[in-house]
Amino acid sequence: MPTPVALTIAGSDSSGGAGIQADLKTFAALGVYGASAISALTSQNTHGVTGIHQVPAAFVSDQIDAVFVDLAVGAVKIGMVAQRDVIEAIAASLAKWKPKHVVLDPVMVATSGDRLLVPDAIDALRKVLIPCADIITPNLPEAAALLDEPMAKGEAEIEEQGKRLLGLGCKAVVIKGGHGDGPESTDYFVTKKGAVALPASRLVTKNTHGTGCTLSSAIAAGLAKGEDMDAAVRSAKAYVTAAIAAADKFTVGYGHGPVHHFHTFY
């Protein structure tokens, strides 16, 4: 059987908890070979982001070409893409190589609260990249920002925002509920068939760095292994929940530490 391969196109996190580092750890933990195309370099740690160095759009394209010309990519995960020209270059590469599955995590703000996406790029994200995606995975603030609306409160509003996000051209949406309130952290999986709530107990820990990156890359891993969208989303939710539950086994940094990607191994 061929080795399942997934490509992450995202920013690098120097502290290793989010971005391509989290994506590659997730791929490895779930039995998928990971390749990467770096869209930006960040200097950051568990306290926050202190600098961002953008990778030229042409070189992002070069990295993607180098992967696709040689590796049988089963799914692509897209994370931090902070500049319009990079977004347009990625969209052109997707049109060129036509990957079977594309998962887009519209990263705008880091767990620490640092803004990662310049305002000029938000319109390009909406109009250029989201229509290329099979599924997008915004959290509640990101869903609101993409729609230029207040953050949804309550299940009905979240489902309505999910339906409007489908109108931007993607096939499915997972709105992550980590920013909500209450004893459960409920994600909402929205397709043209309707919305499905995916609840999990809300875990009390400050070690949540990279949760969004991890969920989207876990979905991509499932798709690369041949799972259908529903199964990939559900297995990704279970994996991330377990990774958060095990996060306090780590003592990494003094701020928002990472989740435990390899919780099933050690």
CA distances 200 to 46, 61, 183, 242, Å, are: 25, 38, 9, 10
**pLDDT, mean over the chain:** 92
What secondary structure, in 3-state letters, does the chain show?
A: CCCCEEEEEEEEECCCCCHHHHHHHHHHHCCCEEEEEEEEEEEEECCEEEEEEECCHHHHHHHHHHHHCCCCCCEEEECCCCCHHHHHHHHHHHHHHCCCCEEECCCCECCCCCECCCHHHHHHHHHHHHHHCCEECCEHHHHHHHHCCCCCCCHHHHHHHHHHHHCCCCCEEEEECCCCCCCECCEEEEECCEEEEECCECCCCCCCECHHHHHHHHHHHHHHCCCCHHHHHHHHHHHHHHHHHCHHHCCCCCCCCECCCCCCCC
Q: Is the pLDDT of residue 115 over 70?
A: no
* Pairing status of strand 5-13 against strand 102-104: unpaired
> Is residue 132 among the annotated active site residues?
no
Q: What is the pLDDT of residue 255?
A: 86
Q: Is the pLDDT of residue 257 over 60?
A: yes
Give the active site residue among 8, 26, 46, 208.
208
- In what side-by-side order are the strands of the sheet with 187-191? 48-54, 33-45, 5-13, 75-78, 102-104, 135-136, 172-175, 187-191, 194-198
Q: What is the pLDDT of residues 162-185, one digit of tens each?
A: 999 999 999 999 999 865 566 677
Q: What is the pLDDT of residue 204?
A: 81
Q: What is the pLDDT of residues 215-231, one digit of tens each?
A: 999 999 999 999 999 99
Give the active site residue among 212, 214, 237, 241.
212
Q: What is the pLDDT of residues 120-156, one digit of tens each?
A: 788 899 999 999 999 999 999 899 989 989 999 888 9
CA distances 244 to 43, 127, 212, 233, Å, are: 23, 33, 11, 17
Please state which CATH class domain 5-249 belongs to: alpha beta
Confidence class of residue 65 from pLDDT cuts 50, 70 and 90?
Answer: very high
Q: Is the pLDDT of residue 112 over 60?
A: no
If phi > 0 it is left, if psi is from -120 to 50 it is alpha, else beta; for residue 113 that is left
Q: Domain locations in the chain?
A: 5-249
> Is residue 208 among the annotated active site residues?
yes
Give the active site residue among 19, 34, 210, 257.
210
> Is residue 214 among the annotated active site residues?
no
* Contacts of residue 174, Cβ cutoff 8 Å, sequence gap at least 6: 135, 136, 137, 187, 188, 189, 190, 198, 215, 219, 233
Give the active site residue among 132, 213, 237, 257.
213
Q: Is the pLDDT of residue 110 over 60?
A: no
Q: Is the pLDDT of residue 201 over 90?
A: no
* Pairing status of strand 33-45 against strand 5-13: parallel
Give the active site residue among 19, 26, 34, 176.
176
Q: Is the pLDDT of residue 113 over 60?
A: no
Q: What is the pLDDT of residue 2?
A: 87
Give the active site residue among 211, 222, 241, 257.
211
Q: What is the pLDDT of residue 116?
A: 62
Q: Can you tell me the mean pLDDT for 233-255?
A: 92
Q: What is the pLDDT of residue 103?
A: 98
30 closest CA partner among 258, 241, 239 = 239
Confidence class of residue 111 from pLDDT cuts 50, 70 and 90?
Answer: low
**Percent of residues, the chain, with pLDDT higher than 70:** 94
> Is residue 46 among the annotated active site residues?
no
